[in-house]
Structure 1
C-alpha cells in the first residue's frame, strides 16, 4: 500500500528492519544503553484557583506543563489541551514516572483538545473522551474518534481554524504515524501555532530536527514561547529520524526565532534508552555552550505554569 503522507523531505517511517534491530536484536545482544525505568523528576502542585479562570483578552497565554507532551494552554478566555495523556499508563503498559501536572478531574472546562498525531503517547482516546471537548488534529484522524461523540476538525499542514477568538494553525513536523497494523502514515502528523490577541505560542508535536523550523519561523514570526521536545533520542542511529536530542532542540529554537524555550517530552514515560533525567542536563550544557540568555529557557516542573505575552 502506498503511504498517504510523507515528510517535507519525502521521507517515510523507519523500515521494520530498523525497528526490529533496536527493539529486539540489540536488546537481546546487550547492545542497548541501560538506564533505570524511574527517576526523580520535579513536580509541583498546580495552582488550581489560578487555572480555573483563563487569562482574558490582552493578558497573554498561560502555559502549564502536564507531563510528556501534554499542555494546558489558556488565553483569550479559553482553555485548550495539547496532546493530553493523563492516565497512569500508555495503553496499560508503560507506566508514568510522575503523576500528571493537573489530574483529569481537576482540569478547568476545556474548549478544544489539539492532537498532534496518532501515536498512543500523544493521542490517548480515554483521556480525550473524558475531557469531552472537540478535537483539532491532522488529516485522516476521524476514524479514531468514530463513536466517541467528539467533534473533529482535520487540518492539512499550513491550514488554520478558529477556536473562539483564538486561531490554531497546523504546521509540519518531521515524524510519521501509525496506530494499528495497516495504517502507516494514513494520518497526518504535525505541530501547532496558537495565536491569540497578545501571545503566539508553538507546540512542535513529535519531531526530528528538520529545515521546516525555519519555514515555521518565517510564516509565524514573533513566537513568544516554543514548546519543544528534548527527550526520547537514544540510540541516535534509530531515533534521530523521529525525535530531537536537546542540542537539536536548541537549534530548532533558534531557527524558529522564538522568545522563550519551554522543554517537554522528557521525564514522564520511559520510551527510549537514555536516563529519564538526562535531557535537562544536556539542554543546560548546550544553552551554556551557545551563550544564550538564561531567562529565555524554562524547564518547568510537572504542574508548573508560565505566562507569556508579546513584548
Structure 2
C-alpha cells in the first residue's frame, strides 16, 4: 500500500527487517549497548506564581521545559503547550525517569496544545484530554481525537493558524508516524514555529538531520530560540534516520540560524540504548569543539524556565 505521507527526501519508515534486527535480534544476541533505565537528571520546582501570568505583548516568550519534548510556551498573554506528556508512564511500561516540570493540575489556562506527530511519547491523549485545550497538529490526526470533544485544527507543512494574537506555523521534520499496526505514515509529522509580537520560537518535534533545517531558517529568519532534541540516538545505524545525536542537533542549530539553543528529548524516558544522562555531555563537548559562547546553549533542568526576546 502506498504511503500517504513521506519525508521531503521521499523516505518512509524503517523497513520491518531493520526494526526486527534492532528490537529483537540484536537485543537477544547482546549486541546492543546496555545502560541503566534511570539516571539523575536535574529538576527544579517551577515558579508557579510567575507561570500564572504569561508575558504581555512585547515582553518576549517564556519557555518552560516540562521534560522530554514537552514545553510550556507563553507569549503575548497566552499559554501554549507543545507535545505535552505529563503522566507517569507512556504505553504503561515506559515509566518517567523524572517527574514532569509542571503537573497538569498546576498549569495555567492553556489556549492550545500543539502536537507534532502521533507517536505516544509526543501525543498522549489522556494528558491532552485533561488539559482540555484545542489541538493544533498535522494532517490526518483527527481520528485520534474522535470522542474526546477536543477541537482539532490540522495543518499541512508550511501552513499556519492563529491562536489569538499568536501565529502557529507547521513545518517539516525528518521522521515518520504510526499509532497502530496498520497506519504507518497515514498522519503527518512535523515541527512548529510559534510567532508572537516580540519572539519567534522553533520546536522541531521528532526529527533526524535533514536539509529542511536550512529552508526553515530561510523562511523564518532570526529565530530567537530553537528547541532541539539531543537524545534517543543509540544505536546510530538504526536511530539516525529518525532522531539526532547532540552533534547533529548543533549542526541543525547552525543551519537554522537561531540565536538560542534549548535542549530537549533527553533524560525523561528510556527509549534507546545510550545512558539517559549522556546527551548533555556530548552537547557540551561539541559546543566546546566549535568554540561557541556558552551563553547561547541552554540545558534547562526539568521545570526550568528561560525567557527569549527578539533583538
Query: 1:293: Cα distance to partner?
Result: 1.1
* Structure-to-structure mapping, 1:1-311, within 5 angstroms: 1-311=1-311
Residues of 2 paired with 1:74 and 1:292: CA distance? 28
Secondary structure, in 3 states, of the residue corresponding to 1:193? Answer: strand
Unmatched segments (≥5 aa) in structure 2 = none
Summarize deviations over 1:191-250 as a string: whole Å, max 9, x none: 000000000000000000000000000000010000000000000000000000000000
Query: 1:257: Cα distance to partner?
Result: 0.2
Residues of 1 paired with 2:164 and 2:93: CA distance? 37
Query: 1:92: Cα distance to partner?
Result: 1.1
Residues of 2 paired with 1:104 and 1:134: CA distance? 15
Residues of 2 paired with 1:38 and 1:181: CA distance? 29
Query: 1:170: Cα distance to partner?
Result: 0.1
Secondary structure, in 3 states, of the residue corresponding to 2:202? Answer: strand
Query: 1:180: Cα distance to partner?
Result: 0.5
Summarize deviations over 1:231-290 as a string: whole Å, max 9, x none: 000000000000000000000000000000000000000000000000000000000001
Residues of 1 paired with 2:101 and 2:279: CA distance? 19
Residues of 2 paired with 1:83 and 1:35: CA distance? 26
Residues of 1 paired with 2:293 and 2:196: CA distance? 26
Query: 1:91: Cα distance to partner?
Result: 1.8
Secondary structure, in 3 states, of the residue corresponding to 2:160? Answer: strand
Unmatched segments (≥5 aa) in structure 1 = none
Residues of 1 paired with 2:91 and 2:284: CA distance? 32
Query: 1:69: Cα distance to partner?
Result: 0.0
Residues of 1 paired with 2:161 and 2:144: CA distance? 20
Residues of 1 paired with 2:268 and 2:215: CA distance? 30
Runs of at least 4 residues off by over 2 Å: none
Residues of 2 paired with 1:45 and 1:21: CA distance? 41
Residues of 1 paired with 2:208 and 2:44: CA distance? 29
Query: 1:7: Cα distance to partner?
Result: 0.1
Secondary structure, in 3 states, of the residue corresponding to 1:167? Answer: strand
